[in-house]
Chains A and B, each alone.
Chain A
Amino acid sequence: EAGVAQSPRYKIIEKRQSVAFWCNPISGHATLYWYQQILGQGPKLLIQFQNNGVVDDSQLPKDRFSAERLKGVDSTLKIQPAKLEDSAVYLCASSLDLPGLAGETQYFGPGTRLLVL
């Protein structure tokens, strides 16, 4: 079974530029997550999709971050304009269904390492 795919793996941009990340979840997984992991910290949830609908985007800085999952499969996360503090690893994860009380296992991709200069 193929895992969660992400691209690019690395990206270096200057502040105020824009950047986009792509994620392809495990086939059949309805729920997709984007996390931000700053060096030395645990992952922080940015946005959660169920199929092509947003379930939770309460921690997404909506003035500069946007995400979509138009066909309920692939997803893109965009930052525009980027700030220095956006330097982090952006992780995509997927699960069969919503977490719920059952506690769905989340499968993570390798992440995209972003450096903003």
Chain B
Amino acid sequence: SQKIEQNSEALNIQEGKTATLTCNYTNYSPAYLQWYRQDPGRGPVFLLLIRENEKEKRKERLKVTFDTTLKQSLFHITASQPADSATYLCASSNSNSGYALNFGKGTSLLVTP
């Protein structure tokens, strides 16, 4: 079955540092990966999409990479701020599932001043 895994341990970093979150997938090849942010009591909010033929995507302080050899995506937040504290969800999609999103469990990020 298609599996997508994110580091279940919370990530605590200091303000100003770069946060790096990991998303690994097994048993399939996603056509693309999406990253979402989820705050407590709210629904996920879309951040970035990266396709299998793209190595890197950037948006302001966010950067996502896609390594099909390692079967891994990395999500980076540079110059992190306390307001970046949230849970970040990785979701994969491919044609086998009609491009339905398959979400990981998410990684909780805490940025301390």
Interface residues of A (CB under 8 A from B): 4, 40-45, 48, 55-56, 91, 93, 98-101, 103, 105-111
Interface residues of B (CB under 8 A from A): 31-32, 34, 41-46, 49, 51, 89, 91, 93, 95, 97-101, 103-106
**Consensus secondary structure, chain A interface:** loop
Q: Cβ of B98 and Cβ of A108 under 8 Å apart?
A: no
Q: Cβ of B101 and Cβ of A101 under 8 Å apart?
A: no
Q: Cβ of A40 and Cβ of B41 under 8 Å apart?
A: no
CB contacts (< 8 Å) of B41 on chain A: these are 110-111
CB contacts (< 8 Å) of B43 on chain A: these are 4, 91, 93, 108-111
The A/B interface has a contact count, at CB < 8 Å, of: 59
- A110 to nearest B CB, angstroms? 5
* CB-CB nearest 8 A-B residue pairs: A108-B43, A42-B103, A99-B99, A105-B46, A103-B32, A43-B103, A103-B49, A108-B44
User: What would 18 A/B residue contacts be, using CB atoms closer than 8 Å?
Assistant: A43-B89, A43-B101, A44-B103, A45-B100, A48-B100, A55-B98, A93-B43, A99-B93, A99-B99, A101-B99, A103-B49, A105-B46, A105-B49, A108-B43, A110-B41, A111-B41, A111-B42, A111-B43
